[in-house]
Each structure stands twice: as C-alpha cells, then as structure tokens.
C-alpha cells in the first residue's frame, strides 16, 4: 500500500510540473500565434469549402464539353443499357448517377462527386459526343497533351487527335515497362492499366 501511495504522490508532482510547463508555453507569444493561426486556418478552410462548389459550377457551365463514354452497363434493373459520359476537358463525369444506384443518398457521395451530381440535376448535356469508350483519366491526360502541343486547336480537331491517339495505344502492343513509361508521360500513375475500350464496359 505504501508503494502505491508513494507512486501516486510522485505522479501528482509530475503532473503538476507538466501543467505548470503547459501554462508557461501557452503564455508564450509563439504558442499564442500558433493558436491564432490554427483558428484562422479553420476559418479559411470553411470559407474555401463554401466557395469551391461555385467555382466548379462556373467551370462546368462555361466548358464546351467533349464527352467520352466512361462506363457502360449491360443491363440495369429495368433491363435497359446505360452509357455514362465524362468530359475530357473539365472532368465532369456522369458516373455519379451510377454511384447513386447503390448509395441512394447524394450526401453519401464524395465531395467532388456531390458537386457534379448537383450540377447535373440542373443542367443538360451539351458539347461534342465522341462515341469513344475511354477511361476518363486517360481521356483527360491525352487531351491535356494535345492542348499542350496545339494550344489553339479546335474541339473538332482535338477529337480527331484523341481518336488517333487511342487507336495507336490500343492497336500497338507494348511491354508492361512501355505502358508504365507511357503512363508517366501522360502524368498518370505508373500502375495505370485502363488502356482498352473494354475497360469502361464493366
């Protein structure tokens, strides 16, 4: 019992020293500045979260979309086939409706997906439909490279280049190392592997 009491007294003293040191630190200008900046960071983060959806809405609304098929469902519950489209220019992606078939509640979508879902509810599809089956990340990466080389290219010509690029990617068989190198050149993850049209038909 004496050992327990002694240990208890010792721990009380240690805790007192810790509390005193915390009080000293909290009184320092550096710690006060840290807490002030922390509160300011939270305020700015909250305001950014409020403003960001409006920026994305404007980006989506002002984009002359170039659509590729990003997902093909053989049959839905109603027996129909469904194609979901994504824009290679701004990244707008109708696969959010596919996600909603299992989530049911838009509040369960990710932050970016929720913005897209809210946008689609109040807009119609406009722009060029390429009828291409293409992973959206791949389509965006190819389009970005086309714009990098030809910044003034028209949307119609960009679609031609996109079709040619996808044709070469799919028709010319290359090693896994070459695929990794290609992914890196397109600023995709080296492990990217959705090169074929069949990759979106799942």
Do the Cβ atoms of 132 and 166 come closer than 8 Å?
Answer: yes
Statement: residue 9 has pLDDT above 80: yes
User: Hey, what's the torsion of the CAs at 8, 9, 12, 16, to 10 degrees?
Assistant: -160
Tell me the average pLDDT across 47-65.
92
Residue 77 pLDDT class (50, 70, 90 cuts): low
- pTM of the full predicted structure? 0.76
* Cβ(70)–Cβ(131) below 8 Å: no
pLDDT of residue 75 exceeding 70: no
pLDDT bracket for residue 202 (50, 70, 90): low
Q: pLDDT at residue 82 above 80?
A: no
Q: How far apart are CA 138 and CA 86, in angstroms?
A: 11
Edge-first strand order for the sheet with 82-87 is 82-87, 66-73, 128-133
pLDDT at 161 over 70: yes
In sequence order, which residues have a C-beta less than 8 Å from that of residue 172 and are 6 or more positions away? none
Q: Are 85 and 92 in contact (CB under 8 A)?
A: no
Residue 134 tokens, joined? 């293409």
Confidence of residue 157 (pLDDT cuts 50, 70, 90): very high
> What is the C-alpha to C-alpha distance for residues 89 and 136, in angstroms, rounded to an integer?
10
Task: Say if residue 155's pLDDT is above 90.
Answer: yes
């Amino acid at each position: 019992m004496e050992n327990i009491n002694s240990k208890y007294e010792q721990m009380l003293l240690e805790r007192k020293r810790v509390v005193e040191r915390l009080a000293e630190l909290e009184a320092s200008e550096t710690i006060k500045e840290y807490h002030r900046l922390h509160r300011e960071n939270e305020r700015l983060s909250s305001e950014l979260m409020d403003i960001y959806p409006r920026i994305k809405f404007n980006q989506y609304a002002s984009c002359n979309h170039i659509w590729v098929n990003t997902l093909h469902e053989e049959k839905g519950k109603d027996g129909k086939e469904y194609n979901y489209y994504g824009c290679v220019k701004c990244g707008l992606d109708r696969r959010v409706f596919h996600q909603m078939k299992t989530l049911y509640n838009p509040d369960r979508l990710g932050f970016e997906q929720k913005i897209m879902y809210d946008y689609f509810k109040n807009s119609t599809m406009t722009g060029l439909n390429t009828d291409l089956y293409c992973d959206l990340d791949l389509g965006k990466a190819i389009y970005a490279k086309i714009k990098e080389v030809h910044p003034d290219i028209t949307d119609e010509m960009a679609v031609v280049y996109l079709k040619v690029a996808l044709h070469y990617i799919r028709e010319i068989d290359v090693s896994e190392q070459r695929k990794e190198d290609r992914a890196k050149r397109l600023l995709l993850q080296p492990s990217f592997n959705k090169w074929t049209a069949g990759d979106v038909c799942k």
